[in-house]
Amino acid sequence: MARPRPPSDDPRPGGEPAPGAASPPGGETVLPELDDSDWLHHATAFAHTSFRAVARRLPRLVREAVGLAWATNRRDTVASIGLNVAAGVLTTFGLLATTSVLRELFAAGPTPDRVRAALPALLVAAGAVSARGGLTIAAGWAQARLTPQINYQVELRLFEATTAVDLAAFDDAGFAEEMDRARDRGMAEAAWIVDHTVNLVTGVVGMVATAVAVTVIQPLLLPCLLLAAVPQAITAIRMARREYLAMLARINRRRRMWMLAHLMANRHTAAEVRSYQMRDFLLTEYRTVMAVETRAHLRLVRAQTGTRVTGAAIAGLATFGVYAVLGALLLSGMVALAAAATALLALQSARTSLGVAVVATNSLYEDALYYQDYRDFLTRARDRVTPGGGRAAAGFDTITLDRASLRYPDTDRPAVDRVSLTVRRGQVIALVGENGSGKTTLAKLIAGLYRPTDGVIRWDGVDTRELDPHSTAAHVAVMTQDWWKFPFTAGQNIRIGRHDRGPDRPGPSVREAARAAAADEMIDGLPYGYDTLLAREFRDGQDLSGGQWQRLVAARGLYRDAALLICDEPSAALDARAEHALFGHLRRRPDRAVVLITHRLANVRHADRIFVMDAGRLVEAGSHDELMAAGGLYRELFDLQASGYLARAPHPDDTVPC
């Protein structure tokens, strides 16, 4: 169901469609309305915040930004701010020197004498301008150096946090939303708030330097300078707000266009677009949204032009007023001609500095809101790291679950409900049950990927909460059904199973692990063998079929050579030969405990123990023969699968599936 329209999406006068409106192809898109993206989380609130409220928060925002830059690189922070301040001081000297030059040039006497008299002040003015330019360049260099360093620090802190939190944190919708917001917008704004702070300092210093120079030249000119700057400030603020509100009104249309463009120009969607003949549908949608967007853009251009004309007219009137005041002061003899000319130069300089300060203030306030999201996420992430005990785990002979339960956030019933079982080293145990019975969750509990919300898990009688999580994880390997296509070479995809294992440490080689998973010949058949990059996004990159990827994942798990191997549907995409080879290898390691999850019950017949799950509870346990004799859920599921392999005469009512 589409969410209610925000005010910015209301239908326009004259029949113009609102962004995201749904209707037939007669003028509007039929696609559903988009929800607000994470990077627009604070946009609406900021758009309705007054500039006065923004200005009140400026001191705290500036302190935070300077603190961030200071923690990253003190030298570059001092240079970027200090050099801009020094450039502002030279602005004052330059204006004062300009006044002296003009005073000498406007004095009575022969022209050569006036030029010679103005030459020292002219040299000072030229030196001040040159030095100011050099300092500004040096400050920009220091500011540019800060950006990559800040980005590196904030990105590293974020990923240190996301890789350290418990796996359960990713099941929390609130945590996941905060993580996306911190990553997509908050992290990117860290360097920007420093940039905007430096620009704000630059603008303020420029205005102060100009005001000081005007005050020294003639104090009566300072009120004129301030009055002339007020219309410029108001116009700049209104222009910035108008542009921002226009962006908010158009953003959903722009996002819809990006989405459609991605569908029409993407390797992964190309086959379905063609097989379902979606070209005309997608192009029609794109043209519809593009037409609305074009009209909105033209309307914005008209509005912005009107704002610029109004602002220019008001600024012109203010400038005329300044000229009139200067003329009156000149006629009355209260201001010298040289001072009046310098005041005009100061007015232009003040306008430029004011524009920089206004834009920086708006940007700093908004970006700081998103950066606060980033900081809040880091605080929350620290709370999601479960502190482990200090005892190192040297391995195990038995893993015991004692009434262990796990409830996911925002769910009514536990995914695993008071399960008790024992996994012994050297055994192959199987977890069996229908979809949603809790098999995968139970396996993750055994692997230590989740902490039980109730009950206890023990390694050789020791509560796992007393053990170091890193040391216990070193003894576990997981072949998950939700594997990821890592953009590494084939060899690296296997080697990351135990990336820190040196050549002097025991364990299978990469090729031995691949051979055990029936992946060796497949990898040798790739263009560059084990050095083939498995990502088509890169030059000479290749992709694998689902079954080939699953062999690679199995090889990774076997290369890890862990005492506990969790196999969650390890053969779902394998052909019969590869599946037979994999299960044959799993049964040949008496020093390893294997937890097998599969819907192909023929593969669990030889398991030492089979545990049957139903609705999160352990309902049956035993060997294959024992469970078949018991006639319970396992027998029912096994007979259902076996019936598909039994030959029988076709029935007239049988239908052939497509």
Structural domains of the chain in order of their starting residue, each with its CATH number: 58-383 (1.20.1560.10), 398-475+563-645 (3.40.50.300), 489-561 (3.40.50.300)
Give the SS3 label for residue 614.
strand
The pLDDT-based confidence of 8 (bands split at 50, 70, 90) is very low
- pLDDT (tens digit per residue) in 258-281: 888 888 988 778 888 888 888 888
Which of 141-155, 207-221, 468-482, 589-603 has the least mean pLDDT? 207-221
> What's the confidence (pLDDT) of residue 532?
92
Helices 74-105 and 337-383 meet at what angle, rounded to 10? Answer: 170
> What's the confidence (pLDDT) of residue 400?
92
Distances, alpha carbon 362 to alpha carbons 178, 238, 239, in Å: 24, 11, 11
Could you tell me which residues come within 8 angstroms of residue 414 by beta carbon, excluding any fewer than 6 positions away?
405, 406, 407, 453, 454, 616
> What's the confidence (pLDDT) of residue 524?
92
- pLDDT (tens digit per residue) in 421-466: 999 988 888 899 888 888 988 999 998 888 898 999 999 988 888 8
Question: Comparing C-alpha atoms, which of 547, 553, 604 is closest to residue 578?
Answer: 547
> What's the confidence (pLDDT) of residue 19?
37
Dihedral sign of CA atoms 346, 349, 351, 353 in order: negative
Could you tell me which residues come within 8 angstroms of residue 623 by beta carbon, excluding any fewer than 6 positions away?
607, 608, 609, 610
Place of tokens 């524009």: 355
> What's the confidence (pLDDT) of residue 11?
34
Q: Strands (DSSP E) along 308-355, which ranges? A: none
527 in Cβ contact with 536 (< 8 Å): no
- Pairing status of strand 416-424 against strand 398-406: antiparallel
